[in-house]
Chain A
Amino acid sequence: MSVLLVAEHNNKELKPFTLNASTAASQIDSDVHAVIIGHNCDEAAKALSELPLIKKVIQVEAPHYENFVAENFAPVIVKLAENYSHIISSANTFGKNLMPRIAAALDTSQISDIIKVIAPDTFLRPIYAGNAFATVKSKDAKKCVTIRPTSFDPCESLGGSAPIEKADPVEEFAKTKFIKREEVKSDRPELGTARVVVSGGRGMQSGDNFKLITSLADKLNAAIGASRAAVDAGYISNDHQVGQTGKVVVPDLYIAVGISGAIQHLAGMKESKVIVAINKDGEAPIFSVADYGLEADLFEAVPQFLEELNKLNTIQK
């Protein structure tokens, strides 16, 4: 049976992780259909139909789908579910909020946050914040699976022309009202998808000193991250937090500055391709995961780092 992907979008465009989720879905079965639920979301539906991996798009429109309230979305997907063996979405706050509602309605034990498809019923997923990997096999007839976006490559976004079918909306769930969304706008790459991340920890000593991190990030066109200690100390806002309780990042280059490397921070960044640690404590646990460790006072090392970067002719963006 086919796989149903739940597309994430903002009514105009697809959210990037929809491409990663499509890849994961296609590894379960090649017949991937995608459902897009929204309001005035024709543009996003068209973009979805252009993904070569998607064989059919189901578009469901109503004003009460404008703001992606899970209580409104879940019944639509439950209604479509009878034709599908798997329901797939990203394990970001969109999918985490939505999928368990679908799974409970279908009486299915959900499998969250997979990092690998081993077989259509068997998946690899991290537990204990990535300190162990569990291989799990679903015995349910219908499977609800969320995927860790950074563990699957984004699929091609152009070249496909899947048919777009309309399906009927379901009545509004009146007990939940969306009020507002405050998106953090930034010229920088988004933390979750940036190629380079520069993070500061408690070693920064103050919010003001985070300027050093900002300068380095500017130079490298990087996103800015932080440890929980730095966030708790009020040096930087919590949307920058990397770790078990923040974001999980997998950039090509992760630079940890003044971060000791608590278990909960390592869980959020240790899958990065190249890790650099700058810390004056040579015994700091961050060095155990760093490809390149520099034991130095960050207040000397970071300005030098900027100088050295200035000497380079080119820096990859």
Chain B
Amino acid sequence: MKILVAVKRVIDYNVQIRVKEDNTGVVTDNVKMSTNPPDDNAIEEAVKIKEAGKATEVVAVSIGEEKAQETVRKALAVGADRGILVKTDGIIEPLAVSKLLQKIVEKEKPDLVFMGKQAIDDDCNQTGQMLSALLNWPQATFASKIEIKDGKLEVTREIDEGLETIEINVPAIVTCDLRLNEPRYASLPNIMKAKKKPIEQLNASDLGVDITPRIEQVKVEEPPKRKAGIKVSSVAELVQKLKNEAKVI
């Protein structure tokens, strides 16, 4: 079985983002970038499946600017066998990403495609489902447990009401929740080894997909600030304020 894992380069989750003064977006220059957190879970799961002898190859793919190569390289350092970078410039929407991934899937013919359930920059939560629709494959979103059984996947999904279990035929798309596993850190020897693993570079334009944005980003602003609160000196004062001032208890 071959697993394709899509990874996205985003602003590191520990960075307090800043909105650009001209309201065209957020500041990304000189800001620490990392792999989108649930994409790390996707890579980890694919590598674990390979280590368990149930997959033969793990291919990491990223779509983005030249520097997204670092994100692919990190996936290689934790166990992916080879990488693909599809180079694009500027904003690329999930619909365009899923069309590019569809082309990669047609070329690579993986049995499974894994990715994070959501990217922490645009918070869209769309790409996996869209790719699944374009390929007419089953989808298992928000996966917190994956079991391979007789060529099928039994997936536990995190839903608002609790947990849902579904069984899907392969080939399939799985989008991963942070609870799926604990991503490993890359060891120094593996980081060195990853430098020798191949990364194929393609241009989005070579894939014959129209990636022109369909959504105009009119402006990006700071959210309204909460007005400064007060410190209370005792529990009695707190309860009195909640009762008589805020009137919430």
User: Which stretch (A29-37, A81-89, A300-308) binds chain B?
Assistant: A300-308
Contacts A110-B95, A126-B123; A138 near B214 (Cβ below 8 A): yes
A-B interface, 8 closest residue pairs, ranked by CB to CB distance from nearest: A100-B129, A109-B214, A104-B130, A104-B133, A100-B126, A291-B229, A304-B235, A175-B169
Q: Which residue of A lies closest to B10 (CB)?
A: A128
Known: A100-B133, A293-B231. 17 other contacts (CB 8 A): A70-B141, A92-B160, A96-B125, A100-B130, A107-B95, A110-B126, A110-B130, A128-B121, A132-B220, A133-B222, A135-B220, A138-B214, A176-B139, A177-B166, A179-B165, A179-B166, A315-B249
Please report the C-alpha to C-alpha distance between residue A64 and residue B179 in the assembled complex, in whole angstroms: 29
Q: Is B142 an interface residue (CB 8 A)?
A: yes
* Chain A residues, CB < 8 A from B120: 128-129, 244
**Residue A312 contacts which of B124, B238, B249 (CB distance < 8 angstroms)?**
B249
Q: Is A111 an interface residue (CB 8 A)?
A: yes
User: Which stretch (A52-60, A155-163, A202-210, A273-281) binds chain B?
Assistant: A273-281
Please report the C-alpha to C-alpha distance between residue A136 and residue B216 in the assembled complex, in whole angstroms: 6
| A276:B242 contact, CB within 8 angstroms | yes
Q: Is A101 an interface residue (CB 8 A)?
A: yes
Q: Is B221 an interface residue (CB 8 A)?
A: yes
Q: Is B218 an interface residue (CB 8 A)?
A: yes
Q: Is B122 an interface residue (CB 8 A)?
A: yes
Interface of A is mostly: mixed
**Cβ contacts A to B, 14 pairs, < 8 Å:** A105-B133, A112-B123, A112-B126, A127-B26, A134-B220, A137-B216, A175-B168, A179-B167, A181-B165, A182-B163, A183-B161, A273-B248, A293-B231, A308-B236
| A139:B216 contact, CB within 8 angstroms | yes
| A293:B229 contact, CB within 8 angstroms | yes
| B165:A180 contact, CB within 8 angstroms | yes
| A308:B214 contact, CB within 8 angstroms | no
Please report the C-alpha to C-alpha distance between residue A316 and residue B236 in the assembled complex, in whole angstroms: 18
**Residue A101 contacts which of B133, B213, B214, B249 (CB distance < 8 angstroms)?**
B133
**Residue B226 contacts which of A100, A137, A270 (CB distance < 8 angstroms)?**
A270
* Chain A residues, CB < 8 A from B98: 104
- Please indicate which of the listed interface residues A100, A122, A301, A305 has the most CB atoms of chain B within 10 Å of its own CB: A100
Q: Which residue of A lies closest to B132 (CB)?
A: A101
| B223:A109 contact, CB within 8 angstroms | no
Please report the C-alpha to C-alpha distance between residue A73 and residue B53 in the assembled complex, in whole angstroms: 35
- Please indicate which of the listed interface residues A97, A112, A138, A220 has the most CB atoms of chain B within 10 Å of its own CB: A97
User: Which stretch (B13-21, B56-64, B184-192) binds chain A?
Assistant: B13-21
Q: Is B241 an interface residue (CB 8 A)?
A: yes
Q: How many residues of A contact B (CB 8 A)?
A: 88
Contact with B along A249-282 (1 / 0, CB 8 A): 0001100000000011000001001111000001
Interface hits, A62-92 → B, CB 8 Å: 69-71, 74, 91-92
| A132:B221 contact, CB within 8 angstroms | yes
Q: Is A212 an interface residue (CB 8 A)?
A: no
| A93:B158 contact, CB within 8 angstroms | yes
Please report the C-alpha to C-alpha distance between residue A176 and residue B140 in the assembled complex, in whole angstroms: 9
B contact residues vs A (CB 8 Å cutoff): 11, 13-14, 16-17, 19, 26, 37, 93-96, 98, 120-134, 137-139, 141-142, 154, 157-169, 172, 178-179, 213-223, 226, 229-232, 234-236, 238-239, 241-243, 246, 248-249
| B134:A181 contact, CB within 8 angstroms | no
Q: Which residue of A lies closest to B144 (CB)?
A: A238
**Residue A173 contacts which of B138, B214, B215 (CB distance < 8 angstroms)?**
B138
| B239:A308 contact, CB within 8 angstroms | yes
Contacts A131-B16, A245-B178; A292 near B217 (Cβ below 8 A): no
* Chain A residues, CB < 8 A from B154: 179
Interface hits, A116-134 → B, CB 8 Å: 122, 125-134
Please report the C-alpha to C-alpha distance between residue A291 and residue B241 in the assembled complex, in whole angstroms: 10
Q: Is A103 an interface residue (CB 8 A)?
A: yes
Contacts A96-B125, A291-B229, A294-B238; A108 near B95 (Cβ below 8 A): yes
| A181:B231 contact, CB within 8 angstroms | no
Please report the C-alpha to C-alpha distance between residue A94 and residue B165 in the assembled complex, in whole angstroms: 14
| A181:B162 contact, CB within 8 angstroms | yes
| B168:A291 contact, CB within 8 angstroms | no
- Please indicate which of the listed interface residues A91, A177, A252, A270 has the most CB atoms of chain B within 10 Å of its own CB: A177
Contacts A239-B162, A291-B230; A97 near B218 (Cβ below 8 A): no
| B161:A128 contact, CB within 8 angstroms | no
* Chain A residues, CB < 8 A from B16: 131, 263
Q: Which residue of B lies closest to A131 (CB)?
A: B17
Q: Is A235 an interface residue (CB 8 A)?
A: no
| A295:B94 contact, CB within 8 angstroms | no
* Chain A residues, CB < 8 A from B124: 110, 112
Q: Is A140 an interface residue (CB 8 A)?
A: yes
Please report the C-alpha to C-alpha distance between residue A74 and residue B137 in the assembled complex, in whole angstroms: 13
**Residue B129 contacts which of A101, A292, A301 (CB distance < 8 angstroms)?**
A101
Please report the C-alpha to C-alpha distance between residue A178 and residue B231 in the assembled complex, in whole angstroms: 51
